């Protein structure tokens, strides 16, 4: 089929049409930007006066926030919402209680419930943020049900649960964060650490019965939380951690060993781990962690580490081992090899320069 060339008039008309569309798009974008900027300026102008009104209200004995809100324009209501957010983030005590009364009178709590129930992901996150700020009483099971399935909403819901007055939130919050077996966001990590720091038995109780095939990244994150928190008592089983020192992933093995670094005083850790195998792990990164862990303990297991260290083929691992086991390695009766002597010299030099 033979194509028919376009006439000059047609080409000009098409070019003019495309140019007109481009100009219209630019004008529309600029118009929206100007309207948004103007709205922002109006909010800034109203904020100063409203802030003074809010602080006068807080200093008074008034318990009727409706008088403060009555007659406010949409711009003023926006400014007041920003002032409420600022105060709730930076003030504590009686002022927070009073400001929450203002927020509820302004309809912020009601709006948050509506967004949470009917909104998409962004609206739900926004609602959870306000639940957290306002310490809103909310049905725990309903919130968990609505938040499941998305890493960010799960983490935000966990923060709301932690801010609640419910004393029994550790187990359901851990379930919310870990049940899908996927890696946590920074907010989720923070929530898990806070739970584990307050009630270290809850996390170990959960993982002891967990059958979900967790991702490697989640395993590493959980071990990181354990390693940063205070050690648990001898009544709490560490079998779940010990078992993963033989995981197929070198990164997981390293994280598991690191999580055990504060447990040298427990016989189940000393006997439950195959330390002969650990110090000769195929991964240099794992061996470095193992050397560091054993270096924190006494010399009952260090002889195993030193024997492996003398044969370690990796320069960086040897340096890490010598650094961790320095006092046990720097002994003439052990007749350090040239490689070990070089590592010792490096550690001494590094120590001298701090």
* Domain assignments of the chain as residue spans, ordered by start: 76-136
- In angstroms and rounded to an integer, the radius of gyration of the C-alpha atoms of the chain is 31
How far, in Å, CA of 254 to CA of 269, rounded? 15
Inter-axis angle of helices 200-208 and 186-198, nearest 10 = 110
148, HSE (Cβ side, Cα atoms, 13 Å): 14
Distances in Å between the Cα of 354 and the Cα atoms of 327, 342, 349 are 18, 18, 9
Q: What pLDDT shows up at residue 332?
A: 47
Considering the entire predicted model, what is its pTM? 0.78
Among 5-14, 77-86, 217-226, 335-344, the range scoring the smallest mean pLDDT is 5-14
Q: What pLDDT shows up at residue 70?
A: 85
How far, in Å, CA of 138 to CA of 163, rounded? 11
The stretches of 138-266 forming alpha helices (DSSP H) are 140-147, 151-163, 170-178, 186-198, 200-208, 216-228, 239-243, 250-259
Per-residue confidence band for 122, with pLDDT thresholds at 50, 70 and 90:
very high
Residues 282, 308: contact at Cβ < 8 Å?
no
Tokens read off for 110: 């009601």
Tokens read off for 147: 């938040």
Per residue in 186-231, pLDDT tens?
A: 999 999 999 999 888 899 999 988 767 899 999 999 999 999 988 8
> Which residue from 226, 321, 219 is spatially nearest to 280, judged by alpha carbons?
321
Tokens read off for 171: 């187990």
3-state DSSP: the chain helix, strand, coil percent, rounded to 5? 70, 0, 30
Per-residue confidence band for 40, with pLDDT thresholds at 50, 70 and 90:
very low
Q: Which residue has the tokens 């070198």?
A: 250
How far, in Å, CA of 281 to CA of 287, rounded? 6
Inter-axis angle of helices 284-295 and 315-324, nearest 10 = 10
Per residue in 56-115, pLDDT tens?
A: 888 887 778 888 888 888 888 888 899 899 888 887 777 788 888 899 999 999 999 999
Q: Which residue has the higher pLDDT, 257 or 50?
A: 257
Tokens read off for 30: 């600029």
Q: Which residue has the tokens 């095939």?
A: 213
Per residue in 123-158, pLDDT tens?
A: 999 999 999 999 998 888 999 999 999 999 999 999
Per residue in 300-318, pLDDT tens?
A: 566 777 778 878 888 888 8
pLDDT at residue 339 greater than cutoff 90: no
Q: Which residue has the tokens 């109006």?
A: 42
Q: Tell me 147's DSSP state.
A: H
Q: What pLDDT shows up at residue 313?
A: 86
Q: Which residue has the tokens 């118009």?
A: 31
Among 262-271, 320-329, 332-341, the range scoring the smallest mean pLDDT is 332-341
């Amino acid at each position: 089929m033979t194509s028919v060339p376009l006439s000059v008039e047609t080409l000009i008309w098409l070019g003019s049409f495309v140019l007109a569309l481009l100009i219209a798009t630019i004008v529309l974008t600029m118009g929206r930007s100007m309207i948004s900027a103007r709205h922002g300026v109006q909010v800034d102008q109203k904020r100063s006066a409203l802030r003074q009104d809010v602080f006068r209200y807080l200093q008074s004995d008034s318990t009727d926030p409706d008088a403060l809100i009555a007659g406010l324009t949409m711009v003023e209501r926006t400014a007041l919402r920003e002032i409420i957010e600022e105060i709730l983030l930076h003030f504590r005590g009686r002022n927070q209680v009073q400001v929450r009364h203002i927020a509820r009178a302004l309809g912020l709590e009601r709006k948050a419930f509506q967004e949470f129930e009917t909104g998409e992901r962004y609206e739900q996150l926004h609602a959870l943020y306000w639940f957290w700020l306002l310490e809103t009483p909310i049905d725990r099971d309903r919130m968990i049900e609505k938040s499941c399935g998305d890493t960010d909403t799960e983490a935000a819901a966990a923060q709301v649960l932690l801010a609640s007055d419910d004393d029994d939130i550790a187990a359901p919050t851990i379930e919310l964060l870990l049940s899908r077996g996927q890696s946590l966001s920074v907010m989720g990590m923070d929530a898990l650490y806070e739970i584990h720091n307050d009630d270290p038995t809850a996390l170990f109780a959960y993982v002891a019965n967990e059958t979900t095939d967790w991702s490697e990244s989640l395993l590493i994150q959980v071990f990181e939380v354990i390693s940063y928190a205070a050690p648990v008592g001898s009544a709490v089983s560490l079998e779940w951690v010990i078992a993963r020192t033989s995981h197929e992933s070198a990164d997981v093995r390293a994280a598991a060993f690191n999580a055990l670094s504060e447990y040298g005083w427990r016989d189940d850790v000393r006997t439950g781990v195959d330390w002969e195998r650990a110090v000769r792990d195929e991964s240099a990164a794992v061996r470095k962690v193992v050397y560091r862990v054993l270096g924190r303990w006494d010399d009952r297991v260090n002889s195993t580490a030193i024997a492996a260290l003398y044969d370690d083929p990796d320069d960086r691992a040897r340096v890490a081992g010598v650094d961790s086991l320095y006092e046990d390695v720097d002994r003439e009766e052990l007749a350090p090899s040239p490689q070990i002597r070089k590592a010792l010299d490096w550690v001494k030099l590094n120590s001298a320069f701090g």
